[in-house]
Structure 1
Amino acid sequence: MKKALLIGGTGFLGSALACRLGRADFALTLPTRRRERVKHLTVLPAANVVEADVHDEETLARLMAGQDLVVNLVGILKGDFQRAHVELPGKIARAAAVAHVSRLIHISALGATADAPSEYLRSKAAGEAAVKAFFPQATIFQPSVIFGRGDSFLTLFAGLLAIAPLVPLACPQARFTPVWVEDVVSSIVASLDYPESQGQTYPLCGPRIYTLRELVAYTGWLSGHPRPIIGLPLALSYLQALIMEWLPNGPMTRDNVRSMQVPNVCPEGSTLPFGLTATPLEAVAPDYLAKR
């Protein structure tokens, strides 16, 4: 039985990947800050959920020992980007190299470039560079916004639409190619059967481009809460985000607005690698958003 360490493996994407790898006969190690918050993963066969500080290099070294596969899935939308997206990936890659781990997979973000307008995207690019510096043969994936049951994207909009009489929407013309969480997982798992994927970077997208306005309207229609949508110009989008930054767990920041200035789309003709076919949003979203 092969062994896999999933760092950030208790989140939305990580949980889906853990389930798939568990079914593929991997023995999993899932570090977390608070074990009681991820009880749903403790029931997975051959899964070891451990409390650990993955930012501590000695702890990382212990976790890496004997692993065949390491996947870094850590990502945040606000907070200390340098620590989460740059320093941690560098530590992980260095520890994986020292431990002679066979495969390292790093989850980045579509649009990550050193000159991107947002700190989020710049930090993701810096994280990729840090990984490559210590582990050049790492496989990097750059997914578009990920959707699926339990997501923090369409599900978040559905919750807001249920209580709001109308929606003042920042960046309504921002473009996205949402990709299903299971398609992202399939791409990660498939890469393990392609030795040539080592050292490569793969963007991951769904089959269709949507504006943010279209996605919010579709979510409202599916959830049974269609609402008038008022598209905000850029200046008011920043103002709305500034106000939300002061709210506990506010859903948007000014850095998010900067990220949305970059079209979240793959190069033309590109969706998924390894011969996989991207699943349409319309084939999945009704299952978890539709009004019951």
Structure 2
Amino acid sequence: MRVLVIGGTGFIGQHLVACLVRAGHAVHVPTRRYQKGRNLLVFPTLTLFEADVHDDAVLERLLSETDAVVNLVGVLHSKPGRPYGIEFERAHVELPRRIAAACRKIGVRRLLHVSALGADAQGPSGYQRSKAAGEEAVRAEFSTYSEGALTIFRPSVVFGREDNFMNLFARLARWLPVIPLAGAGARLQPVYVRDVAAAMANALENSQTYGKTYTVAGVSQYTLAELARLAAKWSGRPRPVLPVPHFVGYAQALLFEFLPGRPLMSRDNLDSLKVDNVSDEAMAPELGVVPTPLESVAPSYLRGGKPDRGPVH
């Protein structure tokens, strides 16, 4: 099968590409910057090329040469807006809608769309609201596509060697004697990046998954404070965590937003922590994945070991 992976150079995308190649698929990965995906060129059935998927003509041309599409595009930060900012709208709502519409127009029947655990039109953050709107957009397009086979995935926060989650707390422990933390009591259920990739690859040709929305979460639930402590401990620099009020966290986040580069934390990120990011649903058996415990992987990569050797499956 020819599979177009939009967002294939990202954290989850690189692991998914490895799974798909191993399964014998020909994988096409568009990217804005060719250099960003050069490490994927080791895969024999992968084609990497520069393309702007936000251009409808380009998107339709790419879909005319594929049998299935995976949309992994997501952003963590956006300018403020109601119900969500412009960057969230472009990446989480408009792009999924355009991909689904192009699938229907060109005749590509299989679409895997990655949303997020916590997607909610009434959620406290623009991120959550935009993810919910993106889900509704692709469902609306596929509701009039009788041949279409849509599957939506809602992963929890994802961990793995290249993550920006557990590694962030490990970096903070390197520089700070105490880790100040807003939203310290929020509960999360981290899921291993290879489990997310495997679940999607297994679902691609499995008709049992057509038309379904799947929660993809890990084995255990933790508070954010517990995860920060564990990351510091496993990195060899145990640190106490100091819970701070949301208004203090907001002030810090506002400062980060005005600094150059990608912010360490945004006010919208803090809004997401107002609700728990957990699920009581077990991993669906048709996805063919047994979730990997955080404790069996994170300690080694945080202390500098290499148990997770990148996107190889």
When normalised by structure 2's length, the TM-score is 0.90
Output aligned runs, 1:1-292, within 5 Å.
2-79=1-78, 80-136=87-143, 137-248=149-260, 249-266=262-279, 268-274=280-286, 275-291=288-304
Distance 1:61 1:273 in 2: 34
Q: What residue identity is the alignment partner of 1:4? A: V
> 2 CA distance for matches of 1:243 and 1:273?
45
Structure 2, unpaired ranges of 5+: 79-86, 144-148, 306-313
SS in structure 1 of the partner of residue 75 of structure 2: coil
AA aligned opposite 1:257: L
% identical aligned pairs: 48
RMSD: 1.3
Q: How many residues align?
A: 290
CA distance in 1, matches of 2:127, 2:285: 25
Between 212-221 and 127-136, the greater mean CA deviation after superposition: 127-136
Q: Deviations over 1:91-139 (max 9, x none)?
A: 1111111121131000000010111111000000000111111124310
SS of structure 2 residue aligned to 1:264: coil
Shift of 1:87: 0.4
C-alpha distance after superposition, 1:132-178 (max 9, x if no partner): 11124310000000001101111122112111222111110011000
Letter of the structure 2 residue corresponding to residue 147 of structure 1: F
Q: TM-score when scaled to structure 1?
A: 0.96
Give the secondary-structure state (helix, strand or coil) at the position aligned to 1:116: coil
Structure 2 counterpart of 1:84, which letter?
A
